[in-house]
């Protein structure tokens, strides 16, 4: 299986995260620019601690069980799904090539990929795919996105989904799914507007930089919402469940959300430093001298005070992405409370549910 998939058919989005499994099923009407979507199913099931560590599946039985659980709870009958991968074993890179035939491009991509992999590793260890982003005949060149994922990581996700009784027809990348969710809910802005899409999961943060309607930079940052949880446990002597509740603004462990706010602010500052460095690297590499706004997604984006910290540090507008803003919700099959609870944490799974087998 390639990283981008088989025949054209709607799929169920299945987001396999380090702390939770999320599923999303959309119904599409119309095509192209006239496409409209209705939310049919949306659910989440928690994954036992340490079942997935640093993006690697450590306990496939527990993860497969969580997949079956959430699919069963949502009464989803479809068996074909779109999943995604992220982390240090996944690499995304934009490369500019001279205009060439598909056969020539396939060979050129293989040569380029050799410099893409860590020292001592090569094509034997990685699954490689690519897609043409843009051709510029007047300039005689084309932009191509290369994606590589370690085969053992890819195979562990595919086999785990199969163990649960489902077939992954598309294996996407978190940063592309995030972009999907953004695009379907956005109206076109200025052609040169620079937007940072930031998805904070439990272990990793996915960053996509948009310039107008084009995604030009992708990065997975080894910084996730678990750091807030660990900080609360360390500072206040809490267990993980209590820390997670406080992180969501609920009282737990004899502590109030206001009491532990200094700990959250300290970690928010640390994340702001990491994000700022990555954005500065993008600016210098792509000769972009501005940042117009930041949209936060993922469960970590719900951390109290994080939006304010980033807005103060980055000095731009910071908001949470609503992945269902432009999507109709079927009140007969979807609990509105679950939609509100998940909010921006559903961004990746919504992006995946927009995929069709065969997408590139």
Give the whole-angstrom CA distance, residue 127 versus residue 64.
23
Residue whose tokens read 């077939």: 167
Least confident of 89-93, 116-120, 274-278: 116-120
Tell me if 128 sits within 8 A of 146, measured CB to CB: yes
Rounded to two decimals, what is the model's pTM?
0.91
- The pLDDT of 136-150, averaged and rounded, is 93
Summarize pLDDT for 51-70 with one digit per residue, the tens: 999 889 999 999 999 999 99
User: Is a pLDDT exceeding 70 seen at residue 360?
Assistant: no
User: Is a pLDDT exceeding 70 seen at residue 2?
Assistant: no
Closest CA to 113 of 102, 127, 99: 127
Going by pLDDT thresholds of 50, 70 and 90, the confidence category of residue 1 is very low
Domains defined along the chain, listed by start: 187-321 (3.30.420.40)
Give the whole-angstrom CA distance, residue 30 versus residue 34.
5
Going by pLDDT thresholds of 50, 70 and 90, the confidence category of residue 20 is very high
Tokens (6 digits) for 187:
């109206």
**190 vs 6: which has the higher pLDDT:** 190
- The pLDDT of 244-248, averaged and rounded, is 90
User: Is a pLDDT exceeding 70 seen at residue 4?
Assistant: no
Long-range Cβ pairs for the range 249-258 (8 Å, 24+): 249/304, 257/304
- pLDDT score recorded for residue 9: 64
- The pLDDT of 249-264, averaged and rounded, is 91
Across the beta sheet with 36-46, what order do the strands follow?
A: 167-173, 80-85, 12-16, 20-29, 36-46, 328-329
User: Is a pLDDT exceeding 90 seen at residue 170?
Assistant: yes
Residue 5 DSSP SS3: coil
Give the whole-angstrom CA distance, residue 144 versus residue 136.
12
Tell me if 306 sits within 8 A of 271, measured CB to CB: yes
Residue 254: CB atoms within 10 Å: 10
- pLDDT score recorded for residue 310: 97
């Amino acid at each position: 299986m390639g990283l981008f998939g088989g025949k054209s058919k709607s799929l169920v989005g299945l987001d396999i995260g380090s702390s939770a499994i999320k599923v999303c099923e959309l119904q599409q009407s119309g095509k192209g620019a006239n496409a409209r979507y209705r939310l049919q199913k949306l659910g989440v099931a928690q994954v036992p601690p340490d079942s997935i560590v640093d993006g690697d599946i450590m306990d496939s039985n527990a993860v497969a069980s969580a997949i079956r659980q959430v699919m069963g709870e949502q009464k989803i009958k479809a068996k074909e799904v779109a999943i995604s991968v992220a982390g240090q074993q996944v690499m995304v890179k934009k490369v500019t090539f001279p205009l060439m035939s598909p056969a020539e491009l396939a060979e050129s991509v293989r040569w380029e990929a050799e410099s893409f992999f860590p020292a001592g590793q090569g094509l034997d260890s990685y699954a490689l795919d690519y897609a043409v982003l843009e051709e510029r005949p007047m300039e005689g060149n084309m932009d191509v996105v290369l994606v590589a994922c370690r085969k053992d990581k890819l195979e562990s996700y595919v086999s785990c989904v199969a163990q649960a009784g489902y077939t992954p027809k598309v294996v996407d990348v978190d940063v592309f799914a995030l972009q999907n969710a953004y695009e379907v809910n956005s109206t076109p802005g200025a052609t040169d507007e620079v937007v940072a899409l930031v998805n904070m999961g439990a272990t990793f943060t996915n960053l996509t930089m948009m310039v107008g309607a084009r995604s030009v930079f992708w990065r997975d940052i080894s910084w996730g919402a678990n750091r807030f949880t660990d900080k609360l446990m360390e500072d206040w002597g809490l267990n993980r469940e209590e820390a997670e509740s406080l992180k969501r603004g609920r009282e737990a462990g004899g502590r109030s959300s206001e009491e532990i706010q200094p700990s959250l602010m300290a970690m928010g500052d640390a994340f702001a430093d990491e994000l700022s460095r990555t954005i500065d690297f993008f600016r210098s590499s792509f000769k972009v001298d501005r940042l117009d706004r930041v949209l936060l997604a993922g469960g970590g984006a719900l951390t109290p005070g994080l939006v304010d910290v980033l807005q103060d540090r980055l000095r731009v507008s910071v908001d949470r992405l609503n992945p269902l803003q432009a999507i109709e919700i079927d009140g007969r099959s979807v609990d509105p409370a679950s939609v509100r609870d998940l909010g921006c944490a559903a961004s990746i799974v919504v992006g995946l549910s927009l995929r069709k087998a065969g997408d590139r």
